[in-house]
Amino acid sequence: MAKHTAPVKKNDTITLTFEDLTHEGNGVGKINGYPLFVPNALPGEEAIVKVVKANKNFGFGKMLELKTKSPERVEASCHIHCGGCQLQHMSYKLQLEMKQNQVKNVMKKIAHLDHVPVHPIIGMDNPFHYRNKVQIPVGEKNGELIAGFYQKRSHRILENTETCSIQDETINEMVKATREIANRIGIKAYNEENHSGELRHIMVRTGFATNEAMVVLVTRSNKLPGKELIIQELTERFPQIKSIVQNINTQRTSVILGEKTKVLWGEEYIYDKIGDITFAISAKSFFQVNPVQTKALYDKALEYAKIGKDDTVIDAYCGIGTISLFLAQKAKKVYGIEVVPEAINDAKNNAKLNGITNAEFSVGEAEKVMPDWKEKGINPDVIVVDPPRKGCDVDFLQAMLDMQPKRIVYVSCNPSTLARDLRILEDGGYETKEVQPVDMFPQTPHVETVALLELK
């Protein structure tokens, strides 16, 4: 049999028409059936493309010149190449369509459930300035402090790119002001190579519903010269700042936050609300970055859970209790499990803060804790699961199947692993009823999804 070779080779320049998008938002064009993936290209466009890599079955290209433009192409509002917002060149309508198709495709190809309804994706009215948190690295150039995102696939700071079009606009202003004050005082930036200097990152968090803000200065050691001046200037300029915190990271590492945190001024927490539940957020708390869409996502999860006042619910991967506390308003009892001890402390505090007494939180791996609960006679009517991108562990899926709840509500941030897990749950006796995609991260390829399963 003749050996297949690619119809193009590296550095070839060709004219290509695009007919589709990958789930990362790259344009797909074909030469004699051989697909080339090209960033920044849209279906229906024709472009001159340079081949940058040619594998046996597919290749990658770089757009040199756009010859015909799609009506769905828009002018990107940001020209910083940090690699964060890969979809800014496409209309919001097309972004939503692409994400909807991604969920439909995996339901068909991976889960083999193409008969299950995938509802139209829930988008945002304003798909910009939605993020309530940023952490920006600090560097030095010509003796001046610079702060900004890293260039795509590099460790080079893009100079003073504190402004970001998906960040809350006051966050952008606070980062910029913090850098300018630190620069004026003469605080040195952290130097990775020789592990010297002080300021590593500037982090800002805001409460969407409360308008409260927290500034976190991540430093290499306890030292922070001129902190009184930083506090005075920031609090005078931004009265919404309720907390200024120093986080000390002494390690040679790319991990942003260190073990030790101390409050320099104000409170240890700021507060935010999702629906009518209040959350205390510390420097290290995990909290969803898009509160508007989080509410849409949780409302859908709650609707699917159909909880009655006599129901027992398990919330696996419960984090700081965000979903658990919503569920507890309707259920008889909620049990939350999470592997991160700090998150469980936050969850317990958030339950207290809201006067919720029917939620109990445990530290541990769900696949180990749940069989133990089953032996103790805890039989959930509903299990809600919101795993990380890698999806659910096989042992955890088995632990859920062993418990036989009436309903499983699966919240997912990765359609492929969701589809893989739905297939296993279907084979274990559950039926997937419906799927709802939610656009939690506009301008990026990520999509959140909620699926409802019922015991057959």
Active site residues: 413
Report how far residue 270's alpha carbon sits from residue 275's, in angstroms, rounded to the nearest whole number. Answer: 17
Residues present in the chain in total: 456
436, 450 Cβ separation under 8 angstroms: yes
Intra-chain end-to-end CA distance of the chain, in Å: 48
| Angstrom distances, CA of residue 268 to CA of 34, 213, 256, 264 | 56, 11, 19, 9
Contact 227, 246 (CB under 8 A): yes
Coil/strand/helix, residue 157: strand
Residue (of 306, 269, 317) closest to 408 by Cα position: 306
Determine how many CB atoms are found less than 10 A away from the CB of residue 76: 15
Nearest alpha carbon to residue 444 among 95, 187, 97: 95
Dihedral of CA atoms 72, 78, 83, 89 in degrees, nearest 10, equals 10
How crowded is residue 379: how many other Cβ atoms within 10 Å of its Cβ? 12
DSSP of 99-115: HHHHHHHHHHHTS--TT
Residue found by looking up tokens 């004050």 in the block: 181
What lies within 8 Å, CB to CB, of 359 at 6+ separation is 321, 324, 325, 327, 328, 333, 334, 335, 336, 347, 351
Q: How far apart are CA 245 and CA 359, in angstroms?
A: 30
